[in-house]
Amino acid sequence: MQPIRTCAVSAAHSASTLSCMVVVSGTSWGQQNSAPEASLRNAGRLTAFEDRSDTKKSEAEAILQLRQLLQEDKKLKPRTDEEFLVRFLRVRKYDVEAARKTVQKYYRNRAACPTVYSDFIPSSIDPSSRRIMMVLPSKDARGRLVILFKAGVWVPSRKSYDLAQKAALVCLEHMAADPASQTAGVSILVDSDGFSLNSLLSCNLSLTRRFFEYLQDCMPMRLKGLHIIHESKAMDFLFAIMRPFIKRKLAERIHFHGTDYKNLHEEIPPTMLPEEYGGEAAPLDIEGFWRQMELQDAQFFENNRFGYPGSQPKRRASR
């Protein structure tokens, strides 16, 4: 196994408060500027459309058009607030029709995964699933957030695959509220140390396919890099199985680094990473991240009210 390579498939085919900043002990997760435009300028990722003097008028027209198109889908109950619609307009570079299709795919993906989106709020994520997932505290030089997935920490005998996938999607939903993520994009770092054949056999491949569908076609963010370290043969097999469902654009952004942190650091700087990944940052505070995520329960519950009939998760009973 080469220590560094691109993925083998690369040659093949009313909830605006969701964007709240999360802070704990002086650390910000998904740190944002209070003005979305300033946040995007700091990341250097404003599109030509957004940087024009007539931006507000043009953006308002695009929002109105998108809202009207979505309302034509009589089966869909979509969020139509400005903050939500702009996410999809940005990621589709203000192509209104493309944004409409992405919103519909977003809701269809949720409807197709009822076990994942049931009780879809941060506080519902169990301790075992929390241990494998978090958003790193700071952004890289390109203004991108990075989600860390410790795949080898997942113990199938303790928690089912759908609960682990729920934790990942809760993190991604949180990241989507950051305006810079909609233009500068995001990265995913997968630590597969300990991901075994038993882990592979315990994966729900149907849900895994839906997860890749979400990454490629549904989420209002641009996935700029999927980096895998400490990969095992089981992880290689998983990507081989998913190969037919990975599009060329994503395939070209998947990189296997092995244990070579030098090349990883060219994409995710050591200032963002803890010592265990050859970095300079403080140890991971996964518990602190999830404690602060729980403060967003109300915003997640509000977002869950929308979708296609029968797909809106219910709030769990009080404990």
Please state, as a whole number, how many other Cβ atoms lie within 10 Å of the Cβ of residue 85. 25
Tell me the C-alpha distance between 148 and 113, whole Å: 22
66-73: long-range contacts (C-beta < 8 A, 24 or more apart)?
Answer: 66/96, 66/99, 66/100, 66/103, 69/96, 69/97, 69/100, 70/100, 70/103, 70/104, 73/104
Instruction: Tell me how far the alpha carbon of residue 232 is from its chain's centroid.
Output: 23
Domains of the chain listed by start with CATH number: 5-13+122-296 (3.40.525.10), 35-115+298-303 (1.10.8)
pLDDT in single tens digits along all 319 residues of the chain: 444 444 443 333 333 333 333 333 334 444 443 344 555 545 544 544 454 444 566 999 999 999 999 999 999 999 999 999 999 999 999 999 999 999 999 999 999 999 999 999 999 999 999 999 999 999 988 889 999 999 999 999 888 999 999 999 999 999 999 999 999 999 999 999 999 999 999 999 999 999 999 999 999 999 999 999 999 999 999 999 999 999 999 999 999 999 999 999 999 999 999 999 999 999 999 999 999 999 999 999 999 999 998 655 555 544 3
What pLDDT does residue 309 have? 85
pLDDT of residue 195: 96
- Map residue 18 onto helix, strand or coil: helix
pLDDT given at position 275? 96
Q: Which residues contact 90 (CB under 8 A, 6 or more apart)?
A: 47, 50, 179, 182, 183, 220
> What pTM, to 2 d.p., does this model score?
0.83
CB 69, CB 96: distance < 8 Å: yes
Q: What share of the chain is helix, strand, coil (3-state, %, to 5)?
A: 50, 10, 40
Comparing CA positions, the residue from 300, 312, 301, 298 lying closest to residue 77 is 312
pLDDT at 158: 85
Half-sphere CA count of 138, side-chain side, radius 13 A: 15
CA distance 13 to 232: 23
Residues whose CB is less than 8 angstroms from the CB of residue 51 and which lie 6 or more positions away in sequence, other chains included: none
Single-letter amino acid, residue 139: K
Distance CA 16, CA 184 (A): 20
Answer left, alpha or beta for residue 230, where phi above 0 means left and psi between -120 and 50 means alpha.
left
